[in-house]
A and B are shown apart, each in its own frame.
Chain A
């Protein structure tokens, strides 16, 4: 079983967002160019030029045509920028590209306009400036206009990206909090606590010394499980101490049915692990390897410092249950895996597998020193 967490929005939402973006784009294009056109028509009507060679209708028709070309030209810029991947560029490389694009688009726009007005329609030259002068001025003016358009376009995308990363940050934070809460809730199995108290009461008459020891062990376990939730990591040896207390209590209950083998490397004691990680693995091993089997079995804890990673293995007799994800083990291991990933990054793994028939191995690998 590989456990991983995935943070993404469902595809239905993505499609909805795309449609909303398209609507906004159409609105801006129509609204923006429409406003420019309206302004120009209004100025032509309000301040008519009496020495114009063009009639009023022609002037307005030319304005309508001009802004339609503008709309068309800018509309063609969008797919081009998307294809060239400009949205991912930094501003240093983006600014010269945008300036070049604004100039080129302006030249296309005004070139088309002049060729159409004077070449195709054959309207008279309606200004006292010469052709190169008109072309330079018009292109520069239009380039500024298109730059404005491009600025708006990129500002929108900038804000959208900020928003989205903010949302993702919140999602991550909430999943961390949720994992913490679940970890707190599932720290010590109540079934275990009450069974232990029951065995303890029997032990008071039978073996008072062992009963006193068991009370201390139970207290250690409860204190650790209440306090360690606030820590991000604990040294391996601290967790192992508590796991030993826990196993001693389980041995009170299961007696000779629970056998133990510890194989701990010399250089692992100070390595950091998430609190309750080893405890969760061992609790699962007891729950599925010992409690459900009349004959009991052996639980082994193996910890090694191997090539820059701490490798912890907990083995128990039994088989890997199919669909373990939905059961309580699945949930416990899933939480542990999620916590591991949030603290140590993607290099940390938690797997449940079966090397030999009738033996289950839960293995956690935690990278050393490359903490994120």
Chain B
């Protein structure tokens, strides 16, 4: 598994490199001191795992992740003492390490990714797989959400509101851009404003003028126009 270390302090990167030397499953492929270098290194090295410092000059670690095209590699955040960031991580069980890094904590975080249940990163394809993760942040909270857990995507101008679990944060991408990346076998463009995950459909009723009304698990109701309803029937019929 190839790892990229992203931290503005050379000594901090060295320390992490030294700690990671204990893990035969992880090979440090490169280092970056800021977000710009990180993007260049990611394009060149295609790492499977990122160690990202939250506090960096210029773009922060969060902003870097937000700007990445999904799917995002596995990410482990590192931070010295950042109350807000730690709270955001704890809420959503993202992996984070506090500096100076406790080797046992590092083993735990790495084990979660390289362990028996972990899945190697799929070959990069244009379409997002259900298991691929998307990084979403809103205010002080952030999530790594599996694409399969997303029930509904709604257009809000140049942004997209993503519904999963109890949360519905905004993603800095247009609905059209998301549609191009989603797997059409699972995601269906219901109308101009909404894309639904067909795996989350709870019920379907006939609606006005040969349309359909789809009810999703979790309560949302989505209307399909006559044309979209027809395409839906064709797509979903055996």
Q: Are B14 and A202 in contact (CB-based, < 8 A)?
A: yes
In the complex, which residues of chain B have a beta carbon less than 8 angstroms from the beta carbon of A294? 8, 33-34, 57-58
What separation, in Å, do the CA atoms of A143 and B12 have in the docked complex? 88
Query: Does B45 touch A at the CB level, under 8 Å?
Result: no
In the complex, which residues of chain B have a beta carbon less than 8 angstroms from the beta carbon of A254? 9
Give which listed residue, B14, B18, B57, contacts A292 with CB less than 8 A: B57
Give the interface of B toward A (CB within 8 A): 8-12, 14-15, 18, 33-34, 55, 57-58, 80-82, 98-101
Q: Are B100 and A191 in contact (CB-based, < 8 A)?
A: no
Q: Are B18 and A253 in contact (CB-based, < 8 A)?
A: no
CB B93 to nearest CB in A, in angstroms, measures: 22
Interface contact tally, CB-CB below 8 A: 58
Give which listed residue, B8, B15, B34, B57, contacts A198 with CB less than 8 A: B15
Query: Does A186 touch B at the CB level, under 8 Å?
Result: no
Q: Are B12 and A202 in contact (CB-based, < 8 A)?
A: yes
Give which listed residue, B10, B80, B82, B100, contacts A201 with CB less than 8 A: B100
CB B51 to nearest CB in A, in angstroms, measures: 13
In the complex, which residues of chain B have a beta carbon less than 8 angstroms from the beta carbon of A191? 55, 80-82
- Given known A291-B55, A292-B58, contact A195–B99 (CB-CB < 8 A): yes
In the complex, which residues of chain B have a beta carbon less than 8 angstroms from the beta carbon of A252? 11
What separation, in Å, do the CA atoms of A255 and B7 have in the docked complex? 14
What separation, in Å, do the CA atoms of A201 and B98 have in the docked complex? 14
What separation, in Å, do the CA atoms of A201 and B9 have in the docked complex? 13
What separation, in Å, do the CA atoms of A51 and B178 have in the docked complex? 114
Query: Does A206 touch B at the CB level, under 8 Å?
Result: yes
- Given known A191-B80, A291-B57, A292-B57, contact A197–B11 (CB-CB < 8 A): no
Query: Does A220 touch B at the CB level, under 8 Å?
Result: no
Nearest B residue to A290 via CB reads B57
What separation, in Å, do the CA atoms of A206 and B81 have in the docked complex? 24
Query: Does A205 touch B at the CB level, under 8 Å?
Result: yes
Q: Are B11 and A199 in contact (CB-based, < 8 A)?
A: yes
Query: Does A5 touch B at the CB level, under 8 Å?
Result: no
24 CB contacts below 8 A, A to B, read A190-B80, A191-B55, A191-B82, A194-B99, A194-B100, A195-B80, A197-B99, A198-B9, A198-B11, A199-B9, A199-B15, A202-B11, A202-B12, A202-B14, A202-B18, A203-B11, A206-B11, A253-B9, A291-B55, A292-B57, A293-B58, A294-B34, A294-B57, A294-B58
Q: Are A205 and B18 in contact (CB-based, < 8 A)?
A: yes
In the complex, which residues of chain A have a beta carbon less than 8 angstroms from the beta carbon of B9? 195, 198-199, 253-254
Query: Does A14 touch B at the CB level, under 8 Å?
Result: no
Query: Does A193 touch B at the CB level, under 8 Å?
Result: yes
Give which listed residue, A193, A198, A293, contacts B12 with CB less than 8 A: A198
A149-203, CB < 8 A from B: 190-191, 193-195, 197-199, 201-203
In the complex, which residues of chain A have a beta carbon less than 8 angstroms from the beta carbon of B11? 198-199, 202-203, 206, 252-253
Q: Are B80 and A206 in contact (CB-based, < 8 A)?
A: no
What separation, in Å, do the CA atoms of A108 and B11 have in the docked complex? 93
B-contact bits for A9-45, CB 8 A (1 contact / 0 none): 0000000000000000000000000000000000000
In the complex, which residues of chain B have a beta carbon less than 8 angstroms from the beta carbon of A291? 55, 57
CB B83 to nearest CB in A, in angstroms, measures: 9
Nearest A residue to B34 via CB reads A294
What separation, in Å, do the CA atoms of A345 and B164 have in the docked complex? 58
CB B60 to nearest CB in A, in angstroms, measures: 10
CB A307 to nearest CB in B, in angstroms, measures: 39
In the complex, which residues of chain A have a beta carbon less than 8 angstroms from the beta carbon of B55? 191, 291
In the complex, which residues of chain B have a beta carbon less than 8 angstroms from the beta carbon of A193? 81
In the complex, which residues of chain A have a beta carbon less than 8 angstroms from the beta carbon of B99? 194-195, 197-198
